[in-house]
Structure 1
């Protein structure tokens, strides 16, 4: 795998938009945290008694809005890591736009397969964690 910066602006500023949406969503949940009990309960968990893939994500984002990173991680590790990673990547793209450098990541087909497999494994591990902790 090759990770480097190279001259030139990022090819697409779309990641800035996603990071902005993530920050705005976290801020909105923080503003509305006293009214979150009005949201409907998880239909999947109500029907099956098993936590779904996103169970705890609202509580995770609420904790994230208060900068309680450990609590956010405990409520839904993957949701917290995804949002923090998305925001961090957006900052990288923003710096690239400002300084005229872009992040270039090149990988072989095998490395790409390993990363995809790791992501799938992380989703499964997160779901097992949620089932065991939110049951």
Structure 2
């Protein structure tokens, strides 16, 4: 198996190697964030975060994994809705804390999360409407 020269640890047969998050997170594109969250976070986050925070983020990871499927059942869509609402509640309690001085922590993206299940119900799974190619333009 061929390994990339820069990273050296992950064989390229398993896919694209992402850049180290500690050095390049400000340059990450959607593909790298998705790969990091779905594949690396479950491993590295467990050792570095308190158990309650880790479990909440893993619930988000599970929701994203379901959204990434090519076929999603109504039961799975309901699970996505529940997990995303749970994550929003957690995020607001933990980081925003309903304080005016912490309002910058409430990015519009977090409100959009509450509607993901609606978009999937109307349009279909994420692969149908993903347009990451526009990210590079």
TM-score (norm 1): 0.29
Between structures 1 and 2, the one with greater strand share: 1
TM-score (norm 2): 0.28
Larger radius of gyration: 1
Higher relative contact order (CA 8 A, sep 6+): 1
